[in-house]
Amino acid sequence: MDKEQARKKIEKLRKQLNEHNYKYYVLDEPEISDFEFDKLMKELESLEKQYPDLAAPDSPTQRVGGEITKKFNTVKHKYPMLSLGNTYSMEELTEFDTRIRKTIGTDFSYACELKFDGVAIGLVYKKGRLSQAVTRGDGTKGDEVTTNVRTIKSIPLRIYASNLPDEFELRAEIIMPHKSFIRLNEEKQKNNESLFANPRNAASGSLKLQDSALVAKRNLDCYVYGILGKDLPFESHFENLAKAREWGFKVSDLTTRCNNINDVMDYIEKIEKKRTSLPYDIDGVVIKVNSYAQQEQLGYTSKFPRWAISYKYKAEQGITRLLDVAYQVGRTGAVTPVAILEPVLVAGTTVKRASLYNADKMEELGLHYADTVHIEKGGEIIPKIVEVKKDLRSPDAKKIQFASHCPECKTKLVRNDGEAVHYCPNSDGCPPQIQGKIEHFISRRAMDIEGLGEGRIEVMIKNKLITNIADLYELKYDQLLGLEKIVTDEITGKQKKISFREKTVNNILNAIEKSKEVSFERVLYALGIRYLGETGAKKLARHFGGLKQIKESSFDDLLAVPEIGERIAGSIKDFFDDERNIEIVKRLEKSGLQFEIEKIPETSKSEQPLKGKSFVVSGVFERYSRSQIKELIELKGGKNISSLSSKTDYLLAGDKMGPEKKRKAVEFNIPIISEDDFELMITT
């Protein structure tokens, strides 16, 4: 394929992928499987790698992110991003309508739309391509977050439509859907990190991340609610939103046009009934005069447009009784108070527990046993206590004091200066800390040790087989065989027996042995150093090359690494100042875990036995990791490609290679070689 053919193929693939993205993320009507989509994406990635000058910022391959933004530039809005006046009252809405009629008469209509609870954004398109994304900021200037916004799959990077204005700007709301929010907070809870209070905060925090690859993992979404610019298709708001939908943007199906204020009120009531079943947060409805000419006639106050207003719903609350306060202990020893409540229905779900965050929040509320409390779902998801009905409190009610000792191991709690959280310092003897650290260590993104779920770690701890992560590598077959545990399903009440049978034990021990091949950067993350996440672990590993260098580095050396701030640097120093951690690391090193960046065997760069040959690498290998094999291919003059075609020279196959690749290799008559064959090729 020459360059011109490649250009045409790249354009075709981009258009196909953009169309499938639109059908999947905007219409929710996928036409092809994830597997087929991935094949198209890999083909495009391969061509863009082969012809780097044909790469483009609006290519679907850029959705995964990876660019680092050290500082977000402040940009002036071409069209100011104005706030809206708010009302919670139908009477005030009627007054708004009366003011409109006095100015423009009765010949007008309203456009009504959802008031999304997210982050307002301005999306600038030039010649059909996304040019710039800017946050609201102070309404006049905002932060440019284009790199991060490109990762949001419901935002077109390029529009394939005729009669587009040369330049226009969309006003939209970036949101975090409930599913994404719950998944994110579950992950943060596992890592003992502070939880986001609601999806709006999560969306805002995600947009300001410096690493766009992390933004891509947050699964943000975007709904358009306005369009600005010259030469727009229509002279009215609702009709232009319909056109934006045709162009491929996500516009809520609940957006409608109302002929009068009575229709508006009916719409508000209809949406209020629907709001608890929506997959994202809204906090009201926005009402706008539909005609742009009439909007201009109505004009603006010093703060708000006179032609629009938002009607905000009151947060749904429930009243119940506080029964007790329980305390949860995380893997790093952080102790979180949780209110235990008489069950109450709030926003369509039964609430039995509510987060109290920390001792300061408890003190602020002044909780007493058996208090009557107002419960509200913060961000429609996380229940919280918003008010205590002190006038209903019994005169002899006892005030609830924050726990002085760990609820699990009875160790006296500590609270560091400047921190809101209490900690249990008994990291080696506190059961939930031990269990949490081990569960973090074996998790998929860390050591990926399969077979230890369903409470098996808890069984081993209770049987005193393991007290820390290093003990995993000293487990024996006879110790595990025959262990049992009875668990009760919280919903059905049915009991289930968890047994360590022969096959289970062999699978566990094999998975533990296989984990010794896990790369250093994941091992570093798996150690569970407080505040050190996946990205920080990768940066440290690649910066220093090995654990010895990290251990011996100074505080300032650590701060020099991107993404490593003072809190993380201090935590790393504290970790390696603890002799107990040093001893565990020594045992892990002795067990054969990777504590250095992988290095491929030394070979002569002058030897080019694979020159001109292309390889697709698939499966799991015995002596090399896939990244090592790919490095060797390039070192020996060969070329790595991501997908098979008739021009591929070899398929290098390991264990667990996908059947589709094998089928395609046979179809194209491509030689399938093993790891042994490959070694012969590079050594003879």
Residue 490: the pLDDT is: 44
- Among residues 3, 15, 70, 115, the one annotated as catalytic is 115
**What does the pLDDT read at residue 513?**
95
Task: Please give the pLDDT value at position 553.
Answer: 92
Tell me if domain 431-517 and domain 520-591 are identical in fold.
yes
673: confidence class by pLDDT, cuts 50, 70, 90 = very high
* pLDDT tens per residue across span 293-345: 999 999 988 678 999 999 988 777 788 899 999 999 988 888 999 999 988 87
Residue 195 burial by Cβ neighbours in a 10 Å radius (0-12, 13-18, 19+): middle
Q: What DSSP state is assigned to residue 24?
A: I
pLDDT per position as a tens digit, 159-210: 988 889 999 999 999 999 988 888 887 777 677 666 776 788 889 989 988 8
Q: Which residue has the higher pLDDT, 409 or 598?
A: 409
CATH number of 3-64: 1.10.287.610
pLDDT, tens only, 236-245 = 999 999 999 9
Instruction: For Cα atoms 591, 564, 526, give the angle at the middle one, nearest 5 degrees.
Output: 25
Q: Specify the CATH number for 74-312; select among 3.30.470.30, 3.40.50.970, 3.20.20.100, 3.20.20.70.
A: 3.30.470.30
Query: What is the predicted pLDDT for the residue at 26?
Result: 73
Residue 647 has pLDDT above 80, yes or no: yes
Mean pLDDT for the stretch of residues 25-43: 78
- What pLDDT, on a 0 to 100 scale, did the predictor assign at position 455? 79
pLDDT of residue 284: 92
Whether the per-residue pLDDT at 221 is higher than 80: the answer is yes
Tell me how far CA of residue 628 lies from CA of 543, 602, 625, 632, 633, in angstroms: 19, 12, 5, 6, 9
What is the mean predicted confidence (pLDDT) over 603-621? 77
Report the share of the chain in percent with pLDDT over 90: 47
Q: Is residue 64's pLDDT more than 80?
A: no
Q: What is the reported pLDDT for 419?
A: 82
Asked which of 363-372, 411-420, 601-610 is least confident by mean pLDDT, the reply is 601-610
Count the neighbouring beta carbons within 10 Å of the beta carbon of residue 395.
4
Distance CA 665, CA 98 (A): 73
614-683 classified as CATH 3.40.50.10190: yes
Q: What pLDDT shows up at residue 380?
A: 46
> Which bin fits 599, alpha (ψ -120 to 50), beta or left (φ > 0)?
beta
In sequence order, the β-bridge partners of residue 142 are 75
Portion of the chain with pLDDT greater than 70, in percent: 92
Higher-confidence residue of 346 and 585: namely 585
pLDDT over 90 at 97, yes or no: yes
Indicate the pLDDT class of residue 494, thresholds 50, 70 and 90: low
CATH number of 317-423: 2.40.50.140
* Average pLDDT of the segment spanning 674-680: 87
pLDDT at 471: 95
Architecture of the domain made up of 520-591 = Orthogonal Bundle (1.10)
Catalytic residue at 115? yes
Closest by CA to 175, choosing from 222, 213, 122, 142, is 222
Of 294, 289, 293, give the one whose Cα is nearest residue 308.
Answer: 289
pLDDT above 70 for 233: yes
User: Would you call 75 helix, strand, or coil by DSSP?
Assistant: strand
Give the model's pLDDT for residue 663: 84
Q: Predicted confidence band at 506 (pLDDT cuts at 50, 70, 90)? A: very high
- CATH 3.30.1360.200 at 431-517, yes or no: no
pLDDT band at residue 492 using 50, 70 and 90 as cut-offs: very low
Domain boundary assignment for the chain: 3-64, 74-312, 317-423, 431-517, 520-591, 614-683
Rounded Cα–Cα distance for residues 16 and 41 (Å): 10
Can you read off the two tokens belonging to residue 265? 């009120």
Q: What is the pLDDT, as a whole number, of residue 451?
A: 85
553 φ, ψ to 5°? -75, 155
Give the mean pLDDT of the chain: 87
Mean pLDDT to the nearest integer, 574-599: 92
- What is the spatial distance between Cα 235 and Cα 227, in angstroms, rounded to a whole number? 11
**pLDDT of 69 strictly over 70:** no
| Burial category of 100 from C-beta neighbours within 10 Å (exposed 0-12, middle 13-18, buried 19 and up) | buried
pLDDT tens digit string along 280-301?
988 899 999 999 999 999 998 8
Instruction: Determine the pLDDT at residue 267.
Output: 96
Least confident interval from 42-51, 237-246, 266-275: 42-51
Looking at residues 81-104, what average pLDDT do you find? Answer: 92
Question: CA 501, 504, 505, 508: dihedral to nearest 10 degrees?
Answer: -160
Mean pLDDT calculated for residue range 558-583: 91
Question: DSSP string of 290-352?
Answer: SBHHHHHHH-B-SSSBTTEEEEEPPPPEEEEEEEEEEEEE-TT-EEEEEEEEEEEEETTEEEE
| In the predicted structure, residue 72 carries a pLDDT above the cut 90 | no
pLDDT computed for residue 51 by the predictor: 84
**Residue 485: per-residue pLDDT:** 77
Among 77-86, 223-232, 422-431, the range with the most confident prediction by mean pLDDT is: 223-232
For the chain, count helices (H), then strands (E).
Answer: 24, 23
